[in-house]
Amino acid sequence: MTFAKNNFFKRSVSFILTIVMVLSMGAISAFAQDTKETKKYNVPIKSLTTAAPIKPVKDAFAKAFGNSVTVTVNEDGTKTARIKNHHMVINFFGKNYDANVSSIVDADESTEGVQKPVIHSTKEEVYTNGIGSSEQVKITVPDEFSIPLNLDKKGSQKISITVDFMDAMKGGKPSPTTVTLTLDTENVSVDTSELKSLIDEYSKISNENYTSESYAKLQAAIEKAKGVVEKPESLDNVSSMIKELKAAKDGLKYQGADYKAVDEALAKIPADSSIYTEESWAAVEAAKNAVVNGLDKTQQNKVNAYAAAIEKAVKELVLKDANYTEVQKAINSVPQDLSKFTDESVMVLKDAIKAVQYGLKADKQNEVNAMAAAITAAVAGLKEKDDNSSNNDEVIDIKNLKDGIYEIPVALWNATQDKPSMAASSFNGTARIVVKDGQKTVYIYTKPMTFGAITASLQEMKVQQVNGKWVEAKVETKSKDGNPNCFSFELDELKEYLTAKVNPHVDMMGNQDIDARLKFNLGAIKMISDNADEKPLTPPAESGNSSANGISPNTGNDSSVVIWYVLLITSAGALLTMLSINKRKPRENENKQ
């Protein structure tokens, strides 16, 4: 009976021990399985003991590795323990001595194929140079290190180390000692250090360069991760959060680069390429075609370089020389013998030829064309001398005109420069003056002027009297298309130049007066009728291409009619360019940090 009881007791004890061992191994296996994925755990240190018999040494060693270690279980099932090295203070007989774990002896071994300890970081510490010494010696020791983890069934593992203070006690010669690290495998917790590190890192990312939507997703992930750190439900929960947080960071999208400078540079490209050399225009085209749309903010310097290249190419455009072929043709058409023509008409021709300005560039081609037109008109306006003129002793007194109707050469002249207008064909070159009872009424005849595809007519005219008063010219007749072709106004005194304002009423240019002058050839005035009651509404016949005297209408330097139309064409081109730019596809880029 006693034997049976004893046998039962032994078997019961063995069963209980087996259960304890299984439970203990189960706790260890919580982080010891082949997970096919690297995982980390926080494991409390149950004890760190040394074989040294002295209690102060035992007490100091017990705290050398802190309260816990981080255990990493690799994909292949191998394990490492990352340990934080702490400074030690050993109290002998009331006096404190500084000490540190100065090396992990296993780290110096080099057995092939065996996982070795790794020093992750070091720190500066001091130790006391032996018992009874007050000398503090500086030393560099491990701060954090990892060792291969091979726990026994009790969760323990021996580690060979050296301690600077103990080495000093033995004359400075390294004296390895063995400590036993025992982990509390029953209280394993999830390690959140990596997640905390990511939260700290990503919280420093500014929203300056990223789209609001992608940045908002990152912020939401950070807040969610903070909750997981505060209450980690499981290792999978933490691992999943790490992946989610990294995905949110990788999903950040940069804002699009600012293309404003590029758009402004493109708008400066001239609409008419024909007036520039092929080489310089090709440089503009190359700079324009090099622009890549949709770049993000990290490539702003590249976008700025596009704008700078376009600006440079536009600035370096080289104008072609103006074409003087028509000018030369007009000069070649001048009769060899001018002696049979009146001095007045010959003088107009000579003035037109003298007004030719050579060396202009292609952007002044309209002015060159006007010079040719002025010469052509002057040739057409040459008047042969009257054989009986020498017997005509009557001289017309400009200041005391008799009642009747007179014809006189007239032109619309430049407001500030002594030269004919570029719009040489807009005026009939002959005006009529009706004088009755000393009152003078001037009749000016106009016609449409054409520049390329643009045709316009003068709609209004004002003339300034000698006394400074402005007189509004009256529209006497209109053409079939409704445009004025005869104006009249009262004149207090007939002079060579009269200050005037004209208005072509072009819609896109606005209803704006243009400064000009009326130029009369006083020496060529002649009476054509003594009937002062007649209203001469029918324009005199013209010979050739323009007025009888070859003088053509013109406006001021910066307000000539032709310049207005050139500006109109340029403005339309610029408008089309801007509309094209505004249709550029939205710029997006999926580049990430």
Question: Residue 543's pLDDT is what?
Answer: 45
Q: For 470, phi and psi rounded to 5 degrees? A: -90, 135
Range scoring the smallest mean pLDDT among 68-77, 204-213, 504-513: 504-513
Cα gap 110→118, rounded to integer Å: 12
Q: For 222, phi and psi rounded to 5 degrees? A: -65, -45
Contact between residue 42 and residue 68 where contact means Cβ atoms under 8 Å apart: yes
- Over 90: is that where the pLDDT of 14 sits? no
Average pLDDT over every residue of 278-304: 93
Question: Residue 560's pLDDT is what?
Answer: 44
* pLDDT tier at 414, thresholds 50, 70, 90: confident
More confident residue, 449 or 293: 293
Residues 6+ apart with CB under 8 A from 568: 454, 506, 508, 509
Cα gap 140→138, rounded to integer Å: 7
Q: What percent of the chain has pLDDT over 70?
A: 79
Q: For 396, phi and psi rounded to 5 degrees? A: -80, 130
- Over 50: is that where the pLDDT of 438 sits? yes
Question: Residue 328's pLDDT is what?
Answer: 95
In this structure, what token pair is assigned to residue 201?
């890192």
If you ran DSSP here, which 8-state letter would residue 12 be given?
H
pTM of the model: 0.38
Strands 470-472 and 79-84 come out as unpaired
What would the pLDDT profile of 161-195 be if each residue is shown by its tens digit? 999 998 998 888 888 999 999 998 888 877 888 88
More confident residue, 258 or 573: 258
Instruction: Give the angle 492-493-498 at the CA atoms, nearest 5°.
Output: 100
Instruction: Tell me the range of 34-38, 104-108, 475-479 where mean pLDDT is highest.
Output: 475-479
Average pLDDT over every residue of 66-84: 89
What would the pLDDT profile of 238-276 be if each residue is shown by its tens digit? 888 999 999 999 999 998 999 999 999 999 999 999 999
- Mean pLDDT, the chain, as a whole number? 82
Contact between residue 493 and residue 477 where contact means Cβ atoms under 8 Å apart: no
β-bridge mates for residue 555, sequence order: 516
- Gyration radius from the chain CA atoms: 52
Question: Residue 569's pLDDT is what?
Answer: 47
Contact between residue 115 and residue 80 where contact means Cβ atoms under 8 Å apart: yes
Average pLDDT over every residue of 274-285: 94
Average pLDDT over every residue of 555-572: 44
Question: Residue 36's pLDDT is what?
Answer: 62
DSSP symbols for 259-318: -HHHHHHHHTS-S--TTB-HHHHHHHHHHHHT--TT-BGGGHHHHHHHHHHHHHHHHT--
3-state secondary structure of 456: strand
- Over 80: is that where the pLDDT of 82 sits? yes
- Over 70: is that where the pLDDT of 363 sits? yes
